Copies of this chain bind each other. A is one copy, B any other.
Amino acid sequence: MKVRDLPTPSLVVDVDALDANIATMAAARPGRTLRPHVKAFKSTELARRVAELGGHQAFCCATLREMEGMADAGLGDDLLLANETLDAPRLRHLVDRGDARVTVAVDSPETVEVAAHAGAEVLVDVDVGLPRCGCRPEDAGRLAELARTRGLNVRGVMGYEGHVVGDPDRGRRAEKVAESMALLRRAHDDVGGDVTSAGGTGTYDLHDWAGEVQAGSYLLMDTHYAALGLPFRQALRLEVTVISTSPERGWGVVDCGLKSLGMDHGNPTISGWNVFFCSDEHTTFLADATGDSEGRALPAVGARLGVLPAHVDPTVAYHDRLHLVRGDEVIDVWPVDLRGW
């Protein structure tokens, strides 16, 4: 099948760009020093390719659904739920299946109790500057002690410097990572354990202390991360059709919008055109003088274009398939089988 024969909108993955991203990251952070985060792509087929080509055996998840799906796919060697859960029966069921090593983040006595009920291993989740989950560094040791009292294996600590990963200034990113890791190191001194887990795509090469980095966006990429000048290629695009044009008024419309693109990082990008706005199933682009589309004729109604998402994770979560392409050939289709909760 050719790419031009796909219905639109369809998510398309350039397999050579994906493989290049896997190789680039594996060279920088081989094997266990990277824990790829499946939340960014939600596909066990893609996870399998990362395991095979990148040589990474441990994965990171954001939901129980992702944990269960990875275990179903035989990718359960070492799964970390890098998030807090209060769903004790479901976590216990996952542990009881026995086909995955299950570790969960804990940051409170309540989440320790859930892990104890389930018999999961734990990492103490530490707030290193992002106002979200994670206990205060000074509380981490007490929480680890509580967990051990409850019979749990405390594997170590995690701390996600999510307030840093998107900073466009590399020097400042490095400085803030060091500040965050000083907090995590302090917590680790009190907690102990082999695992020190941190980071993301924007800081993957700025960690000299953390034992493993949690990165996922590097595989498919988006325009937000592309702005950081990282060595990863844009592997994901939305294949769309031009459904309307108005040369007199200077705009065209393609058939993707708020329901096929995560919008929290702003508008998507259409190379050569100025995106004006998105509605549910439409994106209007301009042929005006404010960008590089100046003076160009609008594409024909029926033409195909590629749209680059601003934020990969919530974009993929809208779709049920990834179409793997090489040039203009569709060579495989991978289900986005880790959607939902």
Q: Is A243 located at the chain interface by the 8 A CB criterion? A: yes
Q: Is A193 located at the chain interface by the 8 A CB criterion? A: no
Q: Is A162 located at the chain interface by the 8 A CB criterion? A: yes
Q: Is A97 located at the chain interface by the 8 A CB criterion? A: no
Q: How far is the CB of A270 from chain B (nearest CB, A)?
A: 15
Q: Is A161 located at the chain interface by the 8 A CB criterion? A: no
Q: Is A295 located at the chain interface by the 8 A CB criterion? A: no
Give A256-286 interface residues, CB cut-off 8 Å to B.
258-260, 262-264, 276-282, 284
Q: Is A234 located at the chain interface by the 8 A CB criterion? A: no
Q: Among A127, A255, A264, A301, find the residue whose CB has the most chain B CB atoms closer than 10 A.
A: A264
Asked if B248 and A136 make an inter-chain contact with CB atoms under 8 angstroms apart, the answer reads yes
Chain B residues positioned under 8 Å from A301 (CB to CB) = 86, 108, 110-111
Copies assembled? 2
Q: Is A8 located at the chain interface by the 8 A CB criterion? A: yes
Q: Among A244, A251, A302, find the residue whose CB has the most chain B CB atoms closer than 10 A.
A: A244
Q: Is A39 located at the chain interface by the 8 A CB criterion? A: yes
Asked if B251 and A317 make an inter-chain contact with CB atoms under 8 angstroms apart, the answer reads no
Q: Beyond A39-B280, A111-B244, A136-B249: 14 further Cβ-contacts under 8 Å? A: A7-B341, A8-B341, A9-B341, A39-B281, A62-B281, A110-B301, A110-B302, A127-B249, A132-B282, A136-B246, A259-B313, A263-B263, A280-B313, A319-B340
A contact set with B: CB distance below 8 Å: 7-10, 39, 62-63, 83-87, 90, 107-108, 110-111, 127, 131-136, 162, 241-246, 248-249, 251, 253, 255, 258-260, 262-264, 276-282, 284, 300-302, 311, 313-314, 317-320, 339-341
Can you report 5 residue pairs joining A to B where beta carbons are below 8 Å apart? A83-B255, A83-B282, A86-B241, A131-B277, A320-B340
